[in-house]
Amino acid sequence: MTTQNKEDYLRALYVIEERKGELKSIDVASYLGISKPSVSEMMKKLDKEGLVKSLPYSNLQFTPKGKKKAEYLTSKHRIIELFLKQVLKRTDSQLHEEAHKLEHAFSDESIDQMRKLLRNPKTDPHGKLIPII
């Protein structure tokens, strides 16, 4: 399992929980555009790493370690989106895909500098809260 793939799953789980208040495998499959068996396989791996717990009826739950990692990844993504929008003047249609590519490449130091440059923003360009990390 690649780190990028694992990070994509954790961010997807965070966004789904933020939207729906619960985590289900079918929602992850839909969000990522993949099969439910693929999600089940990854959830087993994330469970072994202590990041999520698989519960009955395809319900999922973050562990404290998994939640912290997902918050970090989401914060990073949303800071990059805001930077792209405010500093680089990218269009709304370009933000998510470009931020998705960059979130795996930027160092913590670069993200911290972006956050400072943007004056410690509370929300992303879409009005969603940027998790405090």
For the chain, which residues make up each domain, given as ranges? 3-64, 68-117
Average pLDDT over residues 45-52: 96
pTM of the model: 0.91
C-alpha 98/C-alpha 27 separation (Å) is: 23
Residue 39 pLDDT greater than 90, yes or no: yes
Residue-wise pLDDT tens digits, 54-90: 877 779 999 999 999 999 999 999 999 999 999 999 9
Residue 5: closest CA among 30, 55, 41, 36: 41
Which sign, positive or negative, has the C-alpha torsion 100, 58, 130, 107?
negative
CATH code for the structural domain at 3-64: 1.10.10.10
pLDDT for 1 beyond 70: no
CATH hierarchy code of domain 68-117? 1.10.60.10
